[in-house]
């Protein structure tokens, strides 16, 4: 807190000069806000925003009215902005007059509309930039996310600013579903409107153009009787069936339907007048989403999925492909798009056709000329490709190639920051990388109108920083990311800025490691769940966010909590960070890792035997491993047992001593010979081996009568197979039996570092219930056959 | 939008479409099986298997043929056929697991086949598969029933723990697994643990979106609270 005040004092004193304009003195307003007599709703809203923020800053009431006051007057929405571009604004401050204006919508205040669709917010933009220049920041959604410096004497320098952002398109993925997708949403806001407001204040652009993917599905042809009556216009799938959800793009009807739709749309007709009886309008449009941008109509085929690549295999399409060879259906589909765009361009100047660069049309068309009135959106991975020089080079080349065909303003990038969140792929981890975002913005800057980024994670706390930085730098790419970050942590975490910043620095460094060292291994699987997800989670939790790293994160978290004074907004923010990031990471991690970490603690050291057969002395010195009951919550063992291990260069020796007060009552079938498949029903012990790298599994069963059988596993199934070179010697004695087992190490296919092992016993004697015991406490009865429950053999280092 | 990302970067050029032949044969085989014409069904499934190109379709055909053979009371032959197919390298581990689960399930109520079923499931559990799916659950569910039938309740609990750990499992499966765990604890005389699991079972039962009957859970809680 102290640092904050010092900083502000410095800022204020710097600003004092002869040409300064005084807005407040000793907590009293020295200015009024003046709006036109019939001010548009958005100007009234801008005045309220200005007055509220100034009050919070100075403690003074700044009246809003139509009449100027005796001191300074802040005029909102008076200038002539007819020629202004979207987002362009003026701040002019001279003497006692301050003017802020830009192009303003006539529509009423509706935060959904302002956030998503209404681009004309010039005066409001100006107001937010004015407040920004006073040090006010909207660091997170909601009231607690606002940072307003206290300043009872507020002066500003005279200034003349006319600003237009470099990028016309700057869009994050926050939206209507904020409250339902984030468990911590209510930690920030009470209603989604506050999220819209956060976006507006940080200058998120509206849904610009090429809003959606796959507009074909929104035409709902599959319900359209005309379409259904013409199966030949529908996709012929590889299996010989027609699919009414997809089209044959060489069929004249397909083209005719899209032509009619586009013409109808721009001529102001309803879908019904064009033969689409089943379509309903979206927002103010007569047509369904995504057909609601006045100057744009989207033609884009359905998405594909496993089982349907979306392409038509009718004779005509196949013939077309022969004549116009192309890797995908670019030539086929662009032919339709280009023809319709040309017609629209001639009939309705200024109107556009939009589409995606997306399968099955990823290529640049060679046989079709792309008309000028086409807009596209190209889908790229985004900032994380900067980690791999070859990937970012490929993306840039793609931008350059496609960029030749479009004006930058008609060409936008869609990118993704959702590796962890998508499909719950890596729960508890975060792909946070503000530095990469900054570099990425600079990288794509020469080529396009802007970026949409899908920032997705399971909590908002895990993504707030990245969204904020993205919006700050997209509004003004000249901003320095280091300065922005420093400021963010200083303002958001206050006295705990340093440990918070360190924590997020860790997250970014760790993410780069995860991408580089782990995810790059199996690119095809990312985002898909199942085996791979499990594999990656374990790997990341054990190699990057290992116990040591988690301890450091926890210790930083404790520092943050300790430095955040109770009762302040910093403490609130710190608690969100703890609950929805650090705690959440810890929970998710322990969920995946707890058992594996316990397993990794289970180690059996195997001393080296000098000769090819261990001496008695060596056996006595070798550590003894005791068996425990393998019945969960069962009674203690009636008959104890233990074993010892030794190894030579190529043999593993096991000697087990098994207490047996009723040796004569053994249930072992004397007729069993080695290799018998029922040995496990005898009075016996079982040895389990699993080599992690080769995945070789062996189970060796030895009864008390010198008989043994073994099985090993193929990819899936076990098969009985006597392990070559294995030797067994058992001896029944007074009150116990002893088993000596010698195992050739090469049969186990281990490299000596990856051998998992467990030893179990099935005591089968007459008159006593079966008693099972195990060495590994994880391998209780019911869990013997899973290597997840075995310990690891640690071979004494070979002496060379 | 979300689908797009995956598709663009990772499944580009994907050519996994069902073969025309497979789809037709599989459908005809299914119709024959439904009409209890198992001889025709078996032949059609065999043909479908020959035209299947990926793990999913192969597994479908193998399961179909297995059932058609069982429909003709050729049980042993059917089992041998299924086991001869699981090592096919085209069959993904999760599909192999599904095949083994199905096989074990058919043995569940055959007298004298319990050991065999257990052996099959012990192999199935080592075939990796998504933990959130039903295939994962089925292995342990059938194992648990086998242990329960043998009155080995503590082993039943150990086996069900595999399911209870997976929070992504379907709530209906978690409800059943907690209910069975509770019942096993009750058998072992640990009423405290039993009640705790019944309560958790109820919590998951209520989360099931479709109509789901958890009255037995409520009854168990009532019984424990008397
Ligand atoms: Zn076609």
* Tens-place pLDDT, residues B53-94: 788 899 999 999 999 999 999 999 999 999 999 988 889 999
Closest CA to B61 of B79, B82, B75, B87: B82
User: Could you tell me if A3 and A9 are in contact, meaning their C-beta atoms sit under 8 angstroms apart?
Assistant: no
Domain encompassing residue B40 = 1-91
> What is the pLDDT averaged over residues A488-509?
98
**Cβ distance of A381 and B89 shorter than 8 Å:** no
**For B167-211, what is each residue's pLDDT tens digit?**
778 999 999 999 999 999 999 998 888 998 999 999 888 888 777
**For B139-151, what is each residue's pLDDT tens digit?**
999 999 999 999 9
Q: Provide the pLDDT for residue A523.
A: 54
Question: Hey, which of A271-285, A290-304, A565-579, B193-207 has the most confident mean pLDDT?
Answer: A565-579
Q: Provide the pLDDT for residue A534.
A: 73
Ion ligand 1: residues, Cβ under 5 Å: A 248, 250, 312, 314, 317
- Number of structural domains, chain B? 2
User: Could you tell me if A111 and A81 are in contact, meaning their C-beta atoms sit under 8 angstroms apart?
Assistant: no
> Which tokens go with A472?
């700050």
- Specify if B215 maps to a domain: yes
Same domain, B87 and B118: no
Same domain, B120 and B73: no
User: Could you tell me if A577 and A499 are in contact, meaning their C-beta atoms sit under 8 angstroms apart?
Assistant: no
Confidence of residue A532 (pLDDT cuts 50, 70, 90): low
Q: Provide the pLDDT for residue A423.
A: 67
- Specify if B97 maps to a domain: no
Integer angstrom CA distances of residue B176 from A52, A782, B183, B185, B190? 56, 18, 10, 14, 19
Percentage helix, strand, coil, to 5, in chain A? 40, 20, 40
Same domain, B69 and B146: no
**For A137-157, what is each residue's pLDDT tens digit?**
999 999 999 999 999 999 999
Element (H, E) at B50: helix B38-51
Q: Provide the pLDDT for residue B12.
A: 29
Average pLDDT of the residues of chain A:
91
Q: Provide the pLDDT for residue A522.
A: 61
User: How far, in Å, is the centroid of ligand 1 from the Cα of A620?
Assistant: 80
Same domain, B53 and B137: no
User: Could you tell me if A514 and A540 are in contact, meaning their C-beta atoms sit under 8 angstroms apart?
Assistant: yes
Minimum mean pLDDT range among A235-239, A245-249, A746-750: A235-239
Domain ranges of chain A: 15-168, 211-375, 603-795
If DSSP states are collapsed to H, E and C, what string results for A360-373? CECCCCCCCCCCCC
Put simply, the chain B residues between 113 and 172 with a CB less than 8 A from any chain A CB are 119, 122-123, 125-133, 143, 147, 152, 154-159, 165, 167-168
- Specify if B101 maps to a domain: no
Q: Who's near A467: CB < 8 A, 6+ residues apart?
A: A172, A174, A455
pTM of the model: 0.73
d(CA B186, CA A387): 55
> Which tokens go with A38?
């019939």
- Specify if B105 maps to a domain: no
Longest dimension (CA), chain A: 115
Same domain, B189 and B145: yes
d(CA A660, CA A638): 9
Q: What is the CATH number of the domain that holds B163?
A: 1.25.40.10
- Specify if B107 maps to a domain: no
> Phi and psi dihedrals of B2, rounded to 5?
-70, -45
> Phi and psi dihedrals of A447, rounded to 5?
-105, -20
d(CA A663, CA B64): 51
Same domain, B191 and B150: yes
- Specify if B99 maps to a domain: no
- Specify if B176 maps to a domain: yes
Kindly give the residue spans of alpha helices, DSSP state H, lying in B72-170: 75-86, 93-107, 114-124, 134-149, 153-164
Q: Provide the pLDDT for residue A306.
A: 64
Kindly give the residue spans of alpha helices, DSSP state H, lying in A16-108: 41-58
What residues in A contact B18, CB-CB < 8 Å?
238-239, 307
Same domain, B134 and B196: yes
Q: CATH number of the domain at A603-795, please?
A: 2.60.40.1190
Same domain, B73 and B124: no
- Specify if B103 maps to a domain: no
d(CA A205, CA A86): 10
> Which tokens go with B173?
């499966």
Closest CA to A463 of A181, A206, A113: A181
The full length of chain B comes to 226
More confident residue, B207 or B113: B113
Q: Provide the pLDDT for residue A564.
A: 97
Closest CA to A452 of A463, A441, A443, A462: A441
> Which tokens go with A17?
């000069």
Which residue is it, tokens 């009150």?
A: A735
A454 and chain B: CB distance < 8 Å anywhere? yes
d(CA A323, CA A319): 6
Same domain, B131 and B49: no
Confidence of residue A381 (pLDDT cuts 50, 70, 90): confident
> What is the pLDDT averaged over residues A645-661?
96
**Cβ distance of B125 and A715 shorter than 8 Å:** no
CB pairs under 8 A between A and B: 149
Confidence of residue A528 (pLDDT cuts 50, 70, 90): very low
Q: Provide the pLDDT for residue A204.
A: 96
> Phi and psi dihedrals of A644, rounded to 5?
-130, 155
Our CA-based measurement puts residue A182 at a distance from the nearest CA of chain B, in whole angstroms, of: 17
Instruction: Tell me which architecture the domain covering A15-168 has in CATH.
Output: 2-Layer Sandwich (3.30)
User: Could you tell me if B166 and B133 are in contact, meaning their C-beta atoms sit under 8 angstroms apart?
Assistant: no
Same domain, B14 and B85: yes
Question: Hey, which of A180-184, A356-360, A640-644 has the most confident mean pLDDT?
Answer: A640-644
d(CA B114, CA B120): 10
More confident residue, A5 or B27: B27
Same domain, B123 and B190: yes
Same domain, B223 and B143: yes
> Which tokens go with B122?
């012990």
DSSP designation for A239: T
**For A94-130, what is each residue's pLDDT tens digit?**
999 999 999 999 999 999 999 999 999 999 999 999 9
Q: Is the pLDDT of residue A4 over 80?
A: no
Q: Is the pLDDT of residue B120 over 50?
A: yes
Q: Is the pLDDT of residue A341 over 50?
A: yes
């Amino acid at each position: 807190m102290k640092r904050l005040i010092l900083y502000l004092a410095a800022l204020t004193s710097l600003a004092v000069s002869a040409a300064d304009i005084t807005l407040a003195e000793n907590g009293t307003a020295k200015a009024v806000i003046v709006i036109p007599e019939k001010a548009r709703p958005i100007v009234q809203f801008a005045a309220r925003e200005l007055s509220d923020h100034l009050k919070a800053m100075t403690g003074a009431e700044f009246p809003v009215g139509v009449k100027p006051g005796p001191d300074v007057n802040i005029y909102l929405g008076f200038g002539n902005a007819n020629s202004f571009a979207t987002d362009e604004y003026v701040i002019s401050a001279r003497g006692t007059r301050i003017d802020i204006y830009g192009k303003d919508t006539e529509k009423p205040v509706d935060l959904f509309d302002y956030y998503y669709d209404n681009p004309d917010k010039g005066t409001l933009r100006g107001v937010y930039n004015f407040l920004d220049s006073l040090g006010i920041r909207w660091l997170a959604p909601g009231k607690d996310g606002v940072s307003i410096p206290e300043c009872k004497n507020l002066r500003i320098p005279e200034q003349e600013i006319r600003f237009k952002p470099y990028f016309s398109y700057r869009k994050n993925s926050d939206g209507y579903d904020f409250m339902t997708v984030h468990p911590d949403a209510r930690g920030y806001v009470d209603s989604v409107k506050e999220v819209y407001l956060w976006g507006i204040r940080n200058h998120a652009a509206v849904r610009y153009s090429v809003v959606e993917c796959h507009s074909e599905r929104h035409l709902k042809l599959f319900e359209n009787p005309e379409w259904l009556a013409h199966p030949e216009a529908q996709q012929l799938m590889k299996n010989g069936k027609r699919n009414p959800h997809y089209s044959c793009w060489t069929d004249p009807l397909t083209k005719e339907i899209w032509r009619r739709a586009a013409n109808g749309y721009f001529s102001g007709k309803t879908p019904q007048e064009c033969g689409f009886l089943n379509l309903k309008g979206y927002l103010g449009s007569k047509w369904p989403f995504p057909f609601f941008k006045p100057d744009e109509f989207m033609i884009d085929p359905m998405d594909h999925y496993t089982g349907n690549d979306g392409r038509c295999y009718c004779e005509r399409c196949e013939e077309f492909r022969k004549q116009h060879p192309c890797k995908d259906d670019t030539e086929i589909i662009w032919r339709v798009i280009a023809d319709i765009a040309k017609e629209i361009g001639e009939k309705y100047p200024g109107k556009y056709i939009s589409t995606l660069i997306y399968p099955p049309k990823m290529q640049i068309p060679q046989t079709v000329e792309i008309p000028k009135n086409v807009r596209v959106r190209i889908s790229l991975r985004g900032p994380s490709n900067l980690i791999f020089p070859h990937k970012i080079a490929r993306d840039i080349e793609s931008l350059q190639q496609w960029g030749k065909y479009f004006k930058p303003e008609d060409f936008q990038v869609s990118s993704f920051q959702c590796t962890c969140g998508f499909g719950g792929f890596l729960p508890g981890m975060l792909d946070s990388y503000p530095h990469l975002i900054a570099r990425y913005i600079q990288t794509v800057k020469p080529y396009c109108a802007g970026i949409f980024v899908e920032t997705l994670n399971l909590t908002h706390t895990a993504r707030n920083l990245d969204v904020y930085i993205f919006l700050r730098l997209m509004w003004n790419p000249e901003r320095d990311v280091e300065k922005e970050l420093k400021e963010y942590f200083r303002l958001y975490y206050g006295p705990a800025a340093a440990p918070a910043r360190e924590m997020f620095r860790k997250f970014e460094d760790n993410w780069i490691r995860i991408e580089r060292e782990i995810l790059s291994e199996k690119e095809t699987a990312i985002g898909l769940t199942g085996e791979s997800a499990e594999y990656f989670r374990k790997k990341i939790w054990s190699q990057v966010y290992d116990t040591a790293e988690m301890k450091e994160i926890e210790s930083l978290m404790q520092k943050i909590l300790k430095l955040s004074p109770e009762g302040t907004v910093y403490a609130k923010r710190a608690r969100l960070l703890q609950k929805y990031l650090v705690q959440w990471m810890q929970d998710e991690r322990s969920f995946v890792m707890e058992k594996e970490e316990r397993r990794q603690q289970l180690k059996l050291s195997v001393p080296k035997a000098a000769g090819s057969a261990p001496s008695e002395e060596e056996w006595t010195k070798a550590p003894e491993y005791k068996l425990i009951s393998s019945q969960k919550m069962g009674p203690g063992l009636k008959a104890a047992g233990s074993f010892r291990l030794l190894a030579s260069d190529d043999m593993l020796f096991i000697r087990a001593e098994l207490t047996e007060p009723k040796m004569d009552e053994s249930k072992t079938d004397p007729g069993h010979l080695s290799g018998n498949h029922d040995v496990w029903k005898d009075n016996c012990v079982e040895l389990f081996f699993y080599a992690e790298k080769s995945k070789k599994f062996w189970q060796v069963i030895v009864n008390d009568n010198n008989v043994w059988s073994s099985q090993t596993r193929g990819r899936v199934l076990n098969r009985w197979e006597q392990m070559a070179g294995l030797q067994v010697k058992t001896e029944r004695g007074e009150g116990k039996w002893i088993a000596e087992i010698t195992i050739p190490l090469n049969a186990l296919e281990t490299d000596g570092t990856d051998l998992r092992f467990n030893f179990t016993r099935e005591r089968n004697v007459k008159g006593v219930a079966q008693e099972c015991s195990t060495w590994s406490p994880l391998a209780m009865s019911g869990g013997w056959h899973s290597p997840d429950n075995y310990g690891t053999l640690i071979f004494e280092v070979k002496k060379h | 939008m979300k689908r797009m990302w995956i598709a663009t970067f990772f499944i580009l050029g994907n050519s996994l479409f069902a073969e025309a032949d497979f789809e037709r044969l599989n459908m005809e085989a299914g119709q024959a099986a439904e009409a209890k014409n198992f001889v025709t069904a078996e032949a059609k499934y065999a043909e479908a298997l020959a035209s299947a190109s990926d793990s999913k379709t192969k597994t479908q055909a193998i399961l179909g043929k297995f059932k058609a053979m069982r429909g003709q009371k050729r049980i042993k032959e059917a089992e041998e056929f299924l086991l001869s197919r699981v090592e096919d390298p085209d069959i993904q581990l999760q599909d192999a697991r599904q095949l083994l689960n199905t096989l074990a399930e058919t043995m569940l109520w055959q007298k004298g086949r319990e050991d065999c079923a257990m052996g099959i499931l012990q192999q199935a559990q080592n075939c990796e598969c998504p933990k959130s799916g039903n295939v994962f659950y089925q292995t342990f569910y059938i194992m648990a029933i086998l242990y329960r039938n043998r009155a080995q309740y503590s082993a039943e609990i150990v086996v069900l723990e595999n399911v209870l750990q997976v929070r992504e499992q379907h709530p209906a499966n978690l409800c059943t697994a907690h209910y069975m765990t509770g019942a096993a604890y009750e058998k072992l005389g640990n009423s405290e643990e039993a009640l705790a699991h019944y309560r958790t079972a109820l919590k998951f039962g209520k989360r099931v979106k479709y109509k789901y009957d958890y009255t037995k859970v409520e009854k168990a809680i009532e019984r424990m609270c008397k």
